[in-house]
Amino acid sequence: MPKRFPFLGLTIALAAMFLAAVPALAQYGTSTGGIYGRVTDEQAGALPGVTVTIKGPGAPQTLFTDPRGEFRAINISPGRYTVTLSLQGFSTVNRENVGVDVGRDTDLSVQMKLSSVAATITVSGEAPVMETRKVQTGAQVTNDELKAIPTSRDPWVVLQTIPACRSTAST
């Protein structure tokens, strides 16, 4: 039986090789690098939310670590950079002369230490002036309050409506 497509297998193999080489060709023209890393505490636990500031030849970049404590800065021009890491409650870490090369990622592993806690509390105010020699007792019951009493209006019932005159003894 004659073959209809004698070069079909060769054509498929060449197409597969070309498609596999496309990502490598895309990296050939790269003129930047990257910085990536992981930030941990003193017990090697991941620190999420750390502010990572990268300053150098290009414009400064600010990014944050993810829940695993990792960060990645891509497409950075080659050169020397200063990487500053900060998080509330921890000492700020500065890494200077971090080199970025063309087509390469620079790996940073940073351990942050707890900062010493210092707090200053200032309390200011004036004590209220109190008259210690004059003690006033008594209560005034208005006519509207008398009319609102659901029981009889004798003086003993009126006295029971005043908080200081309520009896705690049971009868």
Q: Which domains does the chain have, with CATH numbers?
A: 32-111 (2.60.40.1120)
Question: Global pTM?
Answer: 0.52
Lowest mean pLDDT segment, chosen from 37-46, 58-67, 125-134: 125-134
Q: Measure the CA–CA gap between 109 and 98, rounded to whole angstroms.
A: 12
What is the spatial distance between Cα 68 and Cα 21, in angstroms, rounded to a whole number?
33
Taking 70 as the threshold, does the pLDDT of residue 163 lie above it? no
What's the pLDDT score for residue 61? 92
Q: Say which range, 53-62, 63-72, 108-117, 124-133, has the weakest mean pLDDT.
A: 124-133
- What is the per-residue pLDDT for 171? 47
What's the whole-number mean pLDDT along residues 103-132?
Answer: 81
122 phi-psi bin (left φ>0, alpha ψ -120 to 50, beta other):
beta
What single letter denotes the amino acid at residue 24? A
